[in-house]
Each structure stands twice: as C-alpha cells, then as structure tokens.
Chain A
Amino acid sequence: MAKMSVTVRLQLLLSQFADGQEVVEITADNNIDCLNNLTAQFPGLRRWLFTKQGEVATYVRLFINRQQASVDAELKDGDELLILLAAVGG
C-alpha cells in the first residue's frame, strides 16, 4: 500500500531540532509511523518526542487537521499533523 504524504507542523520549541523548519513533509500511514520517520530525518527531535523506553512521551500532543488524535491514529494523504508539547511554566 502506498504511503501517505503528510504535512507535519512543529511547535516552535521543536522546530529548532528540525533545522529551524516549522513545516516538514513526511511519508507515513499513521501517527507513530510519522513520528518515527520524522525523527529518523531529524534525530535531535527524538528525545523530545519519545521516552527512553521508546514510547511517545505523554506530554506530546498530536492533532490531525486540528483535531486531537491518538498515537496510533491513521493518516490520509494531505493530512496536517500538528505536534505540540505542553507548556509547563507559569
């Protein structure tokens, strides 16, 4: 099955680990596939998105076309995946 082309939008904090790019095109079938492909392309992102045990960190939030989505949600061609980290400070 052909992989889907997805537009990934990175929060400012994350974009600095993707050569300053806030928008990246990634080929993937689902969110976890997309995160793995994204971090293969930009290894510096891995420690922000995954735990040391290799699971997606719980403070990472994923939105497909601005709707909150689970880690294993499927992606369609042309979807936009927004990746945000929680803002902890006050």
Chain B
Amino acid sequence: MLTESDLVRYGRQILYTDFGEEGQRRLKRSHVVVAGLGGLGSASSVYLACAGIGHITVVDGDLVELSNLNRQILHWEEDIGERKTLSAVRKLAKLNPSVEVTPLFERITLSNVGGIIEGAHTVIDGMDNFETRFILNSACVGAGIPFIHAGINGLLGEVTTIIPRKTPCFACIFPQGPAEEGAIPAFGVTPALMAALQVTEAVKLLAGFGDLLAGKMLYYNGETMEFTVVDLVRDPECSVCGF
C-alpha cells in the first residue's frame, strides 16, 4: 500500500509507464542485501533508498578510514573510525526515513552467509575481493536469489546480473580469482557508475520490467568512454551451478 507521501516522493518514477504505482508497491515489498559498503555499496545503498526499496540490509565488517573517502560517498570525514554500517544507517535514515535499514557489522563468511541473505529478493555485490564474491554467489545460487555483480579497477568496471540456474553464475565466469594484488586503483566515479547500473538492474528485476544483463556482462572503459556488452555462457561443469 502506497501512502500519500509515497505518491509524492516517488511521483516522478511512478510516471514511468512500465513502472507505475504497481512497480513502486513491488519495491516497497522488497528486501535487498547490500554486501559491502565501499565504493560500490555506498552508492548502491543510496540509490536503493532513494528508489524506495522497503527493506535494505547493509553488511560490512570494516571501520571508516580516511583513505576510503575519495569514493565511498556514504562515509564522511566525521565518520572516520566508526563502523561503516552505522555510518550508512545514519545517512540512509535521513535520506529516506520510510525505508527500513538493517545494519550487520560482520564479515561475510561461509558460516554466516546463509543467515545474511535469507529472505532477500536480491543481493547487490559491493565486495572488493573474489573470495567473498564466491561465497555470496554460491549461497545465492543455492537459495535461488538473484545476485547483481559489479567490479571495478581504476576507470574500468563490469556488471552482470546472475539469475540462479538460468544464467552463468559467478563461478562459471571466474572459476578462480586472481591472486591478491594489494590496493586497486579507484576513482570515486567508477564504482558510483557501476553501482547506478546495479540499482537499475535491481529496480527492473524487482518491479518486473525491462531487459536485464542476464547472461551478459557490461564492461565500461572510462578512459575511452566505451561500453561493451558481451555474452556469457554457463559452464556445465561449474562447481556451483553445473548441470
């Protein structure tokens, strides 16, 4: 049920023909998990809250550091030393008090991932490492929850939407991750752009319209301003979703 305030707040997106009031009601009933509150997760949680996702769970086990502030727009100078989850909840509550935000101050592991994603309608990848993405991917495939992946490196970015058992999963695309290579170059705008694309995917997925990057990977090259979309294929011998 949309309130009078909802109709005003979301009025401009409700005007979108394929979305409308029913789309908004669907977002309001939705629960999205944002896994990681770095450059990607900061921006995606802001746009999820703006869009009126009814329940957002934000997960991160880190504290805010000065070196985060060039790209993690949810965290400010005054938040240094604070839990990223608390910093996020405070900002998101001011941005849109009608959205329920649940903070989970923990690192995602094999043992806790099931509880973290339980009941979610989609999971947004805001991680900065492969290991945790593998954990999330396996759990999402197992639970049948769509997983919207993004990654960045400098002015490069990538996005794909993983629909369990229907599209290639993360492990089909990357059977193994690269060796850890330390700090990765990052401008704030690259994760912001990729996060905006992730939320675009989430809104379409949850409201039920448009075409998704399902089985496709969008690559962005900010240095040449090229967007490239390629087709991905499922691996029948994939250790996670093989058939």
Contact = CB atoms under 8 A, between A and B. Distances in A.
Interface of A: 11-13, 22, 57-59, 61, 63, 66-68, 82, 84-90
Q: How many B residues touch the partner, as a band? A: 35 or more
B109 interface: no
B228 A82 contact: yes
20 contacts: A11-B156, A12-B156, A12-B223, A13-B153, A13-B156, A59-B177, A59-B178, A67-B230, A86-B130, A86-B177, A87-B153, A88-B130, A88-B153, A88-B184, A89-B39, A89-B191, A90-B36, A90-B125, A90-B129, A90-B150
Nearest to B183: A89
Nearest to A63: B230
B177 A68 contact: no
Contact of B224 (A12, A58, A59, A86): A12
Contacts of A90: 36, 38-41, 125-129, 150-152, 191
A36 B191 CA distance: 33
A59 B36 contact: no
Given A58-B175, A66-B230, A67-B231, A87 B158 contact: yes
A89 B184 contact: yes
Interface of B: 36, 38-41, 125-130, 150-158, 168, 173-178, 181, 184-186, 191, 219, 221, 223-224, 228-233
Contact of B174 (A13, A67, A86): A86
A83 to B, nearest CB: 11
Contact of B230 (A13, A58, A68, A86): A68
Given A88-B130, A89-B152, A90-B191, A59 B39 contact: no
B174 A59 contact: yes
A58 B179 CA distance: 10
A82 B50 CA distance: 37
